[in-house]
A and B are shown apart, each in its own frame.
Chain A
C-alpha cells in the first residue's frame, strides 16, 4: 500500500524530468543553429535579394536571354553528366571488388580509394598537369615508344578536365555503392544460379536492382558536386573549358558584376535542387 501510494509522485517527477530533458536536447542544437543561421543562411538570402535588386528580374533575363550563359550552363550539365557516367562505369565493378574480394585485397583496394580521397585537391590537380602536359609523362612515354609522333592534346581541354574531375569524384560514387553491396544477401544470387540463370541474367535481374539505391545515391552525389566544380576546371581546363562556377568567379572577381553573379548563383542552386529532386524521383520509380 505504501509503495503504490508513492508511485504517482515518482511517475510525475520522472515525467517532468523527461520534459526538461527534451528541452535540453533541443537547446544543445542552439549554438550550431545560430552560427548556421547568421553565417550561412543569412548571406544566402542576402545574395538572393541582390539578384533581384530594384525589384526587377533583369539579371535573370540577362542569364537566360544571351546564348552565352545558357551555353555555359548546358556545357556544365553535359560535363557533369559525362563525369557521372564515367564514375559509374569505372566505380561499379570496383565497389563490387571491394565488397567481395578476400580481406587483404579488399583492404588494399579500400586504401587505393581512401588515400586519394583525402589527398588535397590541389596536389591531385598538379599531378595531373605533370602527367597530361605536352611534355608530360604520358606524352613523353607515348612518343619515346614510337606510338605517336606528336604529343596528344591531353591538357587544357575538356579531356583533361573530365579526367581530373573523375579522379576527384570517383570515391564519392564508390563508397555508397560499396556500402549497399555489403548488405546484399549472397544467397539470392546463388539461388538464381541454382535455378539455372546465366551469370549476366543474375547480374541484370538480381544484383543490379538490389544495388540500385547505392548507384542512385552515388550518382546524385557525383552529379551535384560536379555541377559546382571550380578548381579542377580552372586549372586543367586552362581557361578553355567554361563551367558555371568559373563564370561566377569571373563575374565577381574580374567584372565586379555582383548582380549577374548572384543571379548565376541562384540558377546554379536551383539546378542542383531540381536535379536532386529529379534523381530521387527516378530512383523511387525504379525501385517501386
Chain B
C-alpha cells in the first residue's frame, strides 16, 4: 500500500518534471518567433526592447522600397514555378516508385532522396559551375530549376506516403470495367491523394521561398527575398527585417492552415 502510494507520488513528480521540461523547450522554440512582433511594430529606428512607441513605420518602409518588393515578387514567382514543377515531377516519381515493379527501383529511390542529405553548400557550388557554362547564373529560371531539385524529395515523401494508403483494388476495378490505365490513374487514384498533392505543392513552395544558399550562388545581389534579408541582417540591423519576418511568419501560418484544411501529412520525416 505504502509502496504503491510512493510509486504514484513518484510518478506524479516525474510527470510534473516532464511537463516543466517540455514547457521550457516550447518556450525556447517559440520565443524567437514572438520577439520579432513587438520590434516590427516599433517606432524606433534602433532595436529597442520594449519599443518606446508603436507604429506601422517599418511595414510602410517595406512596402515603399522597390528593392524589397522586387525581391519578394521574384521569390513568389520562383516559389510558384518550383511548386508546380516539383509537384508534377515528384508525383510521377512517387507513383512510379510505389506502384512500379522494375529492376533498379531501390537505387532510383535512394537517388531521388539524395538531395535531402547533400548539404546545400555543396549542391550550390556544383550547380554554379554547371549553370555558368549555360549562362544561367543570375537568372530566376536557373534558381527555380535548382529549387525544384531541392523540393523533389519532399514531394516524393509526402505523395508516396499518401499513395501507400490508397487501395490499388479500386484502380484495378476501374480497369476491369473498361477504363484505360491512364483514366483509372487520373479519375480514381489522383482524387484520392489530392490532399497530399496540396500539401506537397505548398511544402515545395515554402522550401523554395526560404532557400538561401542556392539563391546566393546562382542569383545576384538582392535576387530573392532571403538573399535581401541576409544582406540586411549582415549590414544594417534595422527593424524592416522584423516587419518582413512577421509577414513571413503570417505566410507560414496561412500555408499551415490551408494544408490543415485541404491537405494531409504536414509533418515530414515522420
Contact = CB atoms under 8 A, between A and B. Distances in A.
Q: Do A and B come from one complex?
A: yes
A245 B119 contact: yes
B121 A248 contact: yes
A31 B119 contact: no
**Main secondary structure on chain A at its contact with chain B?**
helix
Interface stretch (B53-61, B62-70, B242-250): B242-250
A248 B122 contact: yes
A84 interface: no
Main secondary structure of the interface of B (DSSP, over half): helix
A119 B123 CA distance: 23
A97 B100 contact: no
Interface residues on A, range: 35 or more
Interface stretch (A54-62, A123-131, A205-213, A279-287): A123-131
A17 B21 CA distance: 59
Interface stretch (A64-72, A146-154, A222-230): A222-230
A176 B31 CA distance: 23
Contacts, number: 246
Most chain A CB inside 10 Å of its own CB: which residue of B10, B21, B95, B125: B125
A123 B270 contact: no
A127 B36 contact: yes
Interface in A1-21: 17, 20-21
Interface in B1-31: 7, 10-11, 14, 18-19, 21-22, 25-26, 28-31
Interface of B: 7, 10-11, 14, 18-19, 21-22, 25-26, 28-33, 35-36, 39, 47, 49, 89-90, 92-93, 95-97, 99-102, 108, 111-112, 114-115, 117-123, 125-130, 145-146, 148-149, 152, 181, 206, 209-210, 212-213, 217, 226, 229-230, 233-234, 237, 241-242, 244-245, 248-249, 252-253, 255-256, 266-270
15 contacts: A21-B181, A22-B100, A25-B102, A26-B100, A31-B89, A32-B89, A114-B266, A120-B209, A120-B248, A121-B210, A126-B242, A228-B119, A248-B125, A249-B121, A252-B217
